[in-house]
Amino acid sequence: MKNCEYQQIDPQALTVSPLSVQNHTEKKAQRPRRKWEVFPGKNRFFCDGRLILARQSGVLPLTLGLIVVTCGLFFAFDCPFLVEHLTIFIPLVGGLLFLFVVLSLLRTSFTDPGILPRATADEAADIEKQIDTSGSSTYRPPPRTKEILINQQVVKLKYCFTCKMFRPPRTSHCSLCDNCVERFDHHCPWVGNCVGKRNYRFFYSFIISLSFLTSFIFGCVITHITLREYSQVISHLDSSWCTVVELVICFFSIWSILGLSGFHTYLIASNLTTNEDIKGSWSSKRGAEDSGNPYSYNNIITNCCVTLCGPMPPSLIDRRACGPDCPVVAVCSSPPPPTCPLLHPPDFLLQSLTRSLAVSP
């Protein structure tokens, strides 16, 4: 029988240090945070940063609920009678308008309105140096504005103390969202978002299609009641409260929706924003030689095409990217697996194995 040499296994060589296991686990568990997770504005993000919404968006479910309830009552209680006595195209037209209104509303609510990224620390320091060019302690810095020429008219750029930058033309800081929005129109609580350069066309299509939908339902309900006999009208109103609800909602909303649609049609034709129209940015210059809107093309069709049919500008905040300034976050990970007793045997088992091999022939 051949002699076999056995060598005792050092248990420390097989045992893995708990510190190294912990470091390896933490290395795998940590990942860089995306920009939307550390976004400084007052916004909420969904679907890994793909959808953006204002933090104060409690009116949006009410808007969507009113549209869905009104259309649901119309399709359930008015369309069967109108299809039987008039035409089958009534529910088809109503369905297409309903889908277009809902899609336009959701697109307006969940689209980046044109938020400008805030200045970095180096950019803010460079701007501060440009503003305060004197090292004297008694020196008073000039007003934080810049003047530029647009179509031979002087336009002032104001400094934003929150975003640490000079706002580009037609940009304003929304106090509700705490962001500078490019071509800021207004903050609309009904859609739960700001209305700016990137989602204004969706907002306009929403209010225009909603005007058509409200007028269509209101006219169909009136037609439904008119086609019935007088005695049936009284009994119909007593037995079905749904028609009354539709009439009340449409009657009180159609005037405001039509007025809002007409107002924004005027703004588009003039290439103005709600913010500029309310502040009277260009109407106050009537006494000056260079009066008027410097952004207007002096043509209604051109103004409409530029506002509604121009190319969609990209989002500037790049919310799904992992920036160098984003901190590292540790995600929850499973604890390390238990040590296998065969690979890491206890000391008493190694000692007994050594003694048995020493006495064996």
Question: pTM score, two decimals?
Answer: 0.76
At 212-221, the pLDDT tens digits run 999 999 998 8
Start-end of H helices in 157-299: 200-227, 230-239, 241-270, 274-279
DSSP state of 187: E
Question: How many CB atoms are located within 10 Å of the residue 39 CB?
Answer: 19
pLDDT classification of 6: cutoffs 50, 70, 90:
very low
pLDDT of residue 133: 58
* Site of tokens 């296998």: 340
The burial of 247, by beta-carbon neighbours within 10 Å (0-12 exposed, 13-18 middle, 19 or more buried), is given as middle
Q: Which of 175, 186, 195 is nearest to 41 (CA)?
A: 175
pLDDT of residue 35: 75
Q: What is the mean pLDDT of the chain?
A: 78
Q: Average pLDDT of 103-107? A: 95
pLDDT of residue 290: 53
At 221-272, the pLDDT tens digits run 888 878 776 545 555 555 467 777 888 888 888 999 999 999 999 999 999 9
Per-residue burial over 13-34, b if 16 or more Cβ lie within 10 Å, else e, is eeeeeeeeeeeeeeeeeeeeeb
Q: Range with the lowest mean pLDDT among 26-35, 107-116, 230-239?
A: 230-239
* Farthest-apart Cα atoms in the chain, separation: 118
At 152-186, the pLDDT tens digits run 888 888 998 888 889 999 999 998 989 999 999 99
Known catalytic membership, residue 188: yes
DSSP state of 343: T
pLDDT of residue 233: 54
pLDDT of residue 328: 46
pLDDT of residue 155: 87
Q: Which of 79, 188, 194, 220 is catalytic?
A: 188
Name, of 8-17, 78-87, 234-243, the range with top average pLDDT.
78-87
Question: How many CB atoms are located within 10 Å of the residue 12 CB?
Answer: 7
At 281-319, the pLDDT tens digits run 777 544 444 567 889 898 999 999 999 998 889 988 877
